[in-house]
Amino acid sequence: MNHYDYLIVGSGLFGATFAHLATKQGKKCLVIDKRSHLGGNIYCENIEGINVHKYGAHIFHTSNKQVWDFVNSIVEFNRYTNSPIANYKGKLYNLPFNMNTFCQMWNVFTPIEAIAKIEEQKAEVIKEMKKAGITEPRNLEEQAQVLIGKDIYERLIKGYTEKQWGRKCKDLPPFIIKRLPIRLVFDNNYFNDKYQGIPIGGYNKLIEGLLKGIETKTNIDFFNDREYWKSIASKIVFTGKIDEYYNYCLGKLEYRTVSFKQEIHDCPNYQGNAVVNYTDYEVPYTRIIEHKHFEMFGEEIEKCPKTVISKEYSTECENGLEPYYPINNEQNSSLAEQYRALGATEKNVIFGGRLAEYKYYDMAPIVEQVLNRTFF
């Protein structure tokens, strides 16, 4: 029987990065994944010559040069800049909230005019709350309006958020939106980070590079024979659901998931942008992703005669569905803390990633965490 230093359960970004760095330290690793492919949620399928983000749009962004240099040492990244658009009842608005948005919303043209309009709207909301005897926002709806006013909340936040969470904004806690960045410049770059892009050739190139020379097995469910898998390695790196690892002994954590309806269109350009959010509640999907715009620019778009879009739907994560996001309410946060306390007692198990830590992570912080934590 082969004996490994690390059995890594899950081949997403945490697991693959861990395996790569451990192997460089001379450790023997085995990576297993219950899916039929490697890469977790950043896996891409090539359809009509287009790298389709099978589990939703992923844009790598960071201000950490160490992280950026590390991923670019595996595969070169392109110059993609995330500039989503919001469609509210047939009207388009630029995101994030910037001078283009304010011009489209209120026909204002200078930062001074925009600030005045926002402050006017915020003051109206606060006045209404005080009149009702409310001193602090009690829910997400009040919190968002205190931060940005009624117009932007109702057109660009309310419907999208309610679809994403499956709950009315009045029933969501205020801490979900701690701040809403307002940019008083005509700049549609969604991220403030110094570096952003997509791996040239898709995210599979990144995962393949990280796992080069490392033994991997797909279609393997750790829980079908966990005692066997535990017996073949000195330590386990677990990236799945922490509550499942402990057989839900304290109760089940709640998750949101997303599903996709994929369409192939006989035209080179469907919507002219990688991501268009649909922010009115009546449209059932949260956004449409047109995948070619992540990697094709200029004449490349027209040279590829077809395009692939994905309509994204947000739902509760029921049995059999893949969990995506933790639901950060008081009940789940308390339960997750109890599971983390259990995890902290383990000497030979490392929990890492969104599901194992029950925390929302972008990709770069995952890589940064593995680079900077003392594992080996």
Please indicate whether residue 256 is annotated as part of the active site: yes
In the predicted structure, residue 242 carries a pLDDT above the cut 70: yes
- Environment class of 288 (CB within 10 Å of its CB; exposed 0-12, middle 13-18, buried 19+): buried
Please indicate whether residue 312 is annotated as part of the active site: yes
Whether 348 is in a domain gets the answer yes
pLDDT tens profile 269-305: 999 999 999 999 999 999 999 999 999 999 999 999 9
pLDDT band per the 50, 70, 90 thresholds, residue 327: confident
d(CA 53, CA 201): 12
Parallel, antiparallel or unpaired: strands 275-278 and 349-351: unpaired
Whether pTM > 0.75 for this model: the answer is yes
When pLDDT is averaged across residues 118-146 and rounded to a whole number, the result is 95
Q: Which of 136, 179, 227, 318 is catalytic?
A: 179
Please indicate whether residue 183 is annotated as part of the active site: yes
Whether 59 is in a domain gets the answer yes
Q: What is the dihedral of CA 169, 172, 174, 179, to 10 degrees?
A: -60
Q: What is the mean pLDDT of the chain?
A: 95
Q: Which of 183, 255, 290, 354 is catalytic?
A: 183
pLDDT tens profile 15-45: 999 999 999 999 999 999 999 999 999 999 9
In the predicted structure, residue 1 carries a pLDDT above the cut 60: no
Domain boundary residue among 176, 207, 230?
Answer: 176
Please indicate whether residue 246 is annotated as part of the active site: no
pLDDT band per the 50, 70, 90 thresholds, residue 161: very high
In terms of residue numbers, what domain contains 164?
97-176
Pair 75, 220 in one domain:
yes
Please indicate whether residue 119 is annotated as part of the active site: no
d(CA 26, CA 376): 10
Whether 300 is in a domain gets the answer no
Q: Which of 254, 287, 354, 368 is catalytic?
A: 287
Domain boundary residue among 146, 176, 206?
Answer: 176
Pair 107, 248 in one domain:
no
Please indicate whether residue 153 is annotated as part of the active site: no
Please indicate whether residue 226 is annotated as part of the active site: no
In the predicted structure, residue 376 carries a pLDDT above the cut 70: no
Whether 334 is in a domain gets the answer yes
Domain boundary residue among 151, 176, 201?
Answer: 176
Pair 167, 203 in one domain:
no
What integer pLDDT is reported at residue 325 of this predicted model? 84
How many structural domains are present in the chain? 2
Pair 141, 57 in one domain:
no
Pair 68, 209 in one domain:
yes
Whether 265 is in a domain gets the answer no
Pair 247, 368 in one domain:
yes
